[in-house]
Amino acid sequence: MEVCIMATKRTTVSSMTGFGRGEVSRDGFRAVFELSSVNSRYLEISLRLPRWLLAMEASLRSVIDKRLSRGKVFGQLTWERTDFAPTQSFNEPLAAWYIRTLQDVGQKHAIPGSLTLGDLARIQDLWVSDAETVNEHIEAILNESLTQALDALAAARDAEGSALADDMRHRVQLVEEYVGTIKSHSAEVPAAIRDKLAARVQELLGSGGYDPQRLAQEVAFMAERADITEECVRLLVHSKHFLDALGAEDAAGRRLNFLTQEMNREANTIASKSASAEISTLAVHLKEELERIREQVQNIE
């Protein structure tokens, strides 16, 4: 039996965390499908179904797989018969097995109590219906309840994803502002290196003087080692690609994670090449914002 559900096109960044519920009551049946999802590198689906519906598990997994790309998804179906139509019969051999098993467990562990007819009537597996007639109803009702649950789950994930995207856009803007400030401070680095080095040389030589040309060469060498222009440019390029990915229609989580790693790599290089206290302080703030972005990206599908 195949359950067919049309996949909806993604229009926003989605979180991997959410909950959805679908409920359908019709033709003497009631189906409640509940889906919840949390973060995961891959798509992991775990379904809890009534035993007599386990044959449908593969098709249900396929439906969920078409709608979601990442996340650990937990699904539970509650199925109830709301009336007892003439097409239903009582599975007496299975009921006898339940009675024997429960009595054996009670005697073995000294658990008081006894089964009643009411207890047996509430065990869903004991009621058997006409397979061909009921399967048609089951397929339609299950299809509808699963559709509702997936739609609700997708809406919850999209809503949280939208909030996460807004937060990350704000933090990327802060990153770009820090980079701009760092670039402005980096223009002052050669002069600061020259003054510092000249003062040190003068201190060591006293009044003996020194070679200005050699000092200029040393300053140029040290300034080149401290130059962070390329790192700033690459970081800003990555930030632009990051914002583009936030607006993509496909699942962006893995790409955002890669871009965050690249941005962190450039920030670490900037921090290691820092030649002034101002740039060092700004690099710390830059890395803090990137860490917050990295944490948020882990939630994105």
Residue 206 identity (one-letter amino acid)? G
pLDDT of residue 10: 45
> Based on C-alpha coordinates, what's the Rg of the chain?
33
CATH classification of the domain holding 172: 1.20.140
pLDDT of residue 43: 94
166 found inside a domain? yes
Residue 285 and residue 181 share a domain? yes
Residue 191 and residue 116 share a domain? no
Q: How far apart are the C-alpha atoms of 168 and 249, rounded to whole Å?
A: 17
109 found inside a domain? yes
Q: How far apart are the C-alpha atoms of 56 and 244, rounded to whole Å?
A: 40
Distances (CA, A) of 157 to 14, 38, 69, 70, 300: 5, 10, 12, 11, 9
| Secondary-structure breakdown of the chain: helix, strand, coil percentages, each rounded to the nearest 5 | 65, 15, 25
User: Is residue 157 left, alpha or beta, with left meaning phi > 0 and alpha meaning psi from -120 to 50?
Assistant: alpha
pLDDT of residue 88: 62
66 found inside a domain? no
Residue 177 and residue 123 share a domain? no
Residue 224 and residue 286 share a domain? yes
Residue 289 and residue 166 share a domain? yes
Residue 190 and residue 110 share a domain? no
40 found inside a domain? no
64 found inside a domain? no
pLDDT of residue 243: 93
Which helix (H) or strand (E) is 287 found in, with range?
helix 277-297
pLDDT of residue 148: 96
Residue 285 and residue 189 share a domain? yes
Residue 237 and residue 182 share a domain? yes
- For 41, phi then psi, to 5°, come to -65, -30
Range of the domain at 286: 160-297
Residue 107 identity (one-letter amino acid)? Q
pLDDT of residue 191: 58
DSSP labels, 227-253 = --HHHHHHHHHHHHHHHHHHT-SS--H
84 found inside a domain? no
Tokens 């390329």 belong to 230
201 found inside a domain? yes
pLDDT of residue 27: 78
- Cβ proximity of 84 and 130 under 8 Å: no
Smallest CA-to-CA distance from 29 within 143, 152, 151, 149 is with 143
Q: How far apart are the C-alpha atoms of 36 and 58, rounded to whole Å?
A: 18
138 found inside a domain? no
Residue 169 and residue 278 share a domain? yes
pLDDT of residue 100: 86
Residue 183 and residue 122 share a domain? no
Number of domains in the chain: 2
Instruction: Count Cβ atoms below 10 Å from residue 152 Cβ, excluding itself.
Output: 18
pLDDT of residue 2: 39
Can you give the pLDDT of all 301 residues of the chain as single tens digits? 333 433 443 446 899 999 999 999 987 788 999 999 999 989 999 999 888 788 888 888 989 999 998 999 999 999 887 775 555 677 787 888 888 888 888 888 888 877 788 887 777 777 765 543 446 777 788 889 998 999 999 999 999 999 999 999 999 999 999 999 988 887 666 556 656 666 655 655 555 555 666 656 655 555 555 578 888 999 999 999 999 998 877 778 889 999 999 999 999 998 887 777 888 899 999 999 999 999 999 999 8
Residue 282 and residue 167 share a domain? yes
| pTM for the predicted model, two decimal places | 0.66
Segment 179-232, tens digit of pLDDT: 999 888 876 665 566 566 666 556 555 555 556 666 566 555 555 555 788 889
Residue 186 and residue 106 share a domain? no
